[in-house]
Structure 1
Amino acid sequence: MSKLIAAVGATLTLGLAVTNAHAAEQLNVVSWSGYFSPPILEKFEKETGIKVTVDSYDSNETLLAKLKQGGTGYDVAIPSHQFVPILIQEKLLERFDPVNQPYYANIEDNLKKPTWDPEGAYAVPFIWGTTSVVLDSARYSGPADSYSVLFTPPKELQGRINMFDSSSEVIDTASLYLGIPLCSEDPKQMQQVLTLLKNQKGFVKTYSSKAGSIRENLASGEVDMSMFWGGSSMRAREMKSSLKYLYPKEGVMAWVDNLVIPAGAKNPENAKKFIAFLSQPENAAMTQNFLKHQSPIRGVEPFLDASLKDAPELHIPEGTKVVFSKTCGEGAIRLADRIWTNLMR
């Protein structure tokens, strides 16, 4: 009897070991919708044996909520730069000091040890770009050198607009248009933002930050104008040639999405391997070829598709004001939350 028990125990132990070994070769990623092409995930799995599962979100606020609720086992997340300090302050990120890794040398100099991660301790730039407006020039060919075309749209575009459903991005763009400082804590200034957005709301068909849906709706003519990111606009133009990305006189917002490891990640070593893999020039070029945004990694040029080399969405005209979004203080966040709640009623 004791031999049988010992044998069963040994079998169970072996089974658990096999199960744990199998579990260790997993990686759970949460990212912006549509950020990974199947080929790059297949390449990583082939090189490492690690199986990647990807979940998605459509705003930084949604990611923050997910991680606050326990992260549901995520090993890698991709927040925008202004949310990295918030996640650090909330103790939602693991420190893994990428600055000490060889791949960190590949990062463009202006994105090494950036203001949102000054020690290079928590984040690695993944992709960056601008946020502006894309519109169908076949539908509207009038003046489009100002955000007024978005916030006080001409008749041709009324009711045919998509706005992001990310409060931070919408409020930043509205503030840029109005000449109000980002992250303002002045109730009077933020009342101007609310008034602008409420007056615009009747002309807005949808509020969505889902890149794939926005592209499809622009291509099909369901909407004719949208807030959009530069690279995503290029992908939309490839579907419909009359789509035009704007560089308004007020400027464009800029963003950097970063690879981070959520606190309590179950597979942190696999996460580090994935981040190192994505930071190699050839793999970073695969990402840029797919997403069409700008890469923060040096040395991607030999691997880029020819179409990216002269794409207007990726080449910011000289003299354009480029404004990186900021990490807002508590007062500004409260005001922004009130504005968004009021707008969405």
Structure 2
Amino acid sequence: MKKFLSTTGFVLACVAPSIAAHAAGTLNLYIWSGYIAPDLIAQFQQQSGIKVNIDNYDSEETLLAKLKQGGAGYDIAVTNQAMIPVFVREGLIDKIDAANIPGYGNITARFRKPQWDPTGEYSVPYLWGTMNFAVDTSVYSGDINTLKLLFNPPAPLQGKINMFDSADDAISLAAIEAGVPACSEDPKQMQKVLDVLKQQKPFVKTYSSKAGAIRESMVSGEIAMSAIWSGTAQRASDLKHSIRYAYPKEGSLAWVDNIVVPKGAPDIDNAKKFIAFLLTPKAAATNTNFLKYQNAVDGSNAFVADDVKRAPELTPPAGAKLVFKQTCSTAAIRLHDRVWTDLLK
């Protein structure tokens, strides 16, 4: 996994794409809260003259619903790899002719035509990482590298847990613990997933997928364990060194977030200019330094801070079992909805 972040072979020559100094218009971005370095927005606006407007969503389900409603005038959206085949199948995103966008050649080869976008027509990679949980080891000092800790916590952690409030993310983690496929269409298997989540529920203080709120709650001591993304965990541990990120022996969820253009985007030209900007090594490294997630841009490693490169949250240990999120069938999604509704009632 380390080679995802390091420069492979020779570094492709990369210069920032030429962006018109006085380009007109706006760019409407739909993204997770706090999921882009503020410096990048400022730099792009200064270089391009394009004003960037940002709206946030709190789950992939919210994003899907928004795109089904017509995209609400967004030029760019960021989504995980499992959603892209769904968006393509339902006609919710446009082809972007990625290979002709300046900077496309900077994308690490394995991410150019990935399994979720085999023709490379609909997306470019944004950031990637893992999704497990973190523990405040000043509260609990035992072995943390097992999902049993999250779903059947010992007394010191009970009532001090945050769990994702996204059905997809919570069920994906619980499915690993239950030993069943996250996209199973078998009601008996999904009942096992529901049992895992119900076992955990009495010990959960909050359900939230807001990265900033999770980080702040862990640092303040309001919660002592939370389902969390690797980058959020690193940012939390920078502020409170007793916070440690787990790599469960049962498996770690891995994800790749991607940039897409919603169907009917008001300004696809500005969208492509923004994508080209994000594909420059310095821009990609700025995001990695700020968000603590790996990017997929060759040459960016030269600009990534040493402490970020060394962080355990950024690079899974040798032998770590990675389980990449998959695109679920309609039948599996219906089961997800039933599990989640049953859990929260």
Provide the residue aligned with 1:7 in structure 2.
none
Provide the residue aligned with 2:35 in structure 1.
35
Matched residue SS, 1:88: helix
Structure 2 CA distance for aligned equivalents of residues 113 and 35 of structure 1: 24
Provide the residue aligned with 2:4 in structure 1.
none
Provide the residue aligned with 1:276 in structure 2.
276
Structure 2 CA distance for aligned equivalents of residues 55 and 122 of structure 1: 21
Matched residue SS, 2:223: coil
- The Cα of 1:24 is off from its aligned counterpart by 4.9
Unaligned runs of 5+ in 1: 1-21
Tell me whether 1:244 sits opposite 2:252 in the alignment: no
Provide the residue aligned with 2:207 in structure 1.
207
- The Cα of 1:107 is off from its aligned counterpart by 1.3
Provide the residue aligned with 2:218 in structure 1.
218
Structure 2 CA distance for aligned equivalents of residues 288 and 100 of structure 1: 25
Structure 1 counterpart of 2:247, one-letter code: Y
Provide the residue aligned with 2:184 in structure 1.
184
> How big is each residue's C-alpha offset from its partner over 1:124-169, in whole Å with a ceiling of 9 and x where there is no partner?
0000000011010000011222100000000000111011111111
- The Cα of 1:231 is off from its aligned counterpart by 1.0
> How big is each residue's C-alpha offset from its partner over 1:174-227, in whole Å with a ceiling of 9 and x where there is no partner?
111121123011110100111111121110011111000000000001111011
Structure 2 counterpart of 1:199, one-letter code: Q
Structure 2 CA distance for aligned equivalents of residues 274 and 102 of structure 1: 10
Provide the residue aligned with 2:12 in structure 1.
none
Structure 2 CA distance for aligned equivalents of residues 109 and 316 of structure 1: 20
User: Larger C-alpha radius of gyration, 1 or 2?
Assistant: 1
Aligned length: 324
Structure 2 CA distance for aligned equivalents of residues 24 and 100 of structure 1: 22
Structure 1 counterpart of 2:99, one-letter code: V
Structure 2 CA distance for aligned equivalents of residues 24 and 206 of structure 1: 44
Q: Does the 8 A contact of 2:177 with 2:196 survive in 1?
A: no
- The Cα of 1:340 is off from its aligned counterpart by 0.6
Matched residue SS, 1:83: helix
Give the TM-score normalised by the residue count of structure 1. Answer: 0.92
Structure 2 CA distance for aligned equivalents of residues 103 and 150 of structure 1: 41
Structure 1 counterpart of 2:113, one-letter code: K
> How big is each residue's C-alpha offset from its partner over 1:239-272, in whole Å with a ceiling of 9 and x where there is no partner?
1110000011011010011011000111110000
Provide the residue aligned with 1:310 in structure 2.
310
Unaligned runs of 5+ in 2: 1-21
Structure 1 counterpart of 2:308, one-letter code: L
- The Cα of 1:76 is off from its aligned counterpart by 0.3
Task: Output aligned runs, 1:97-136, within 5 Å.
Answer: 97-136=97-136
Structure 2 CA distance for aligned equivalents of residues 309 and 293 of structure 1: 10
Structure 2 counterpart of 1:248, one-letter code: P
- The Cα of 1:111 is off from its aligned counterpart by 1.2
- The Cα of 1:23 is off from its aligned counterpart by 11
Q: Taking every aligned residue pair, what percent have the same amino acid on both sides? A: 52
Structure 1 counterpart of 2:89, one-letter code: Q
Task: Output aligned runs, 1:279-294, within 5 Å.
Answer: 279-294=279-294
Structure 1 CA distance for aligned equivalents of residues 293 and 333 of structure 2: 28
Q: Does the 8 A contact of 1:99 with 1:119 survive in 2?
A: no
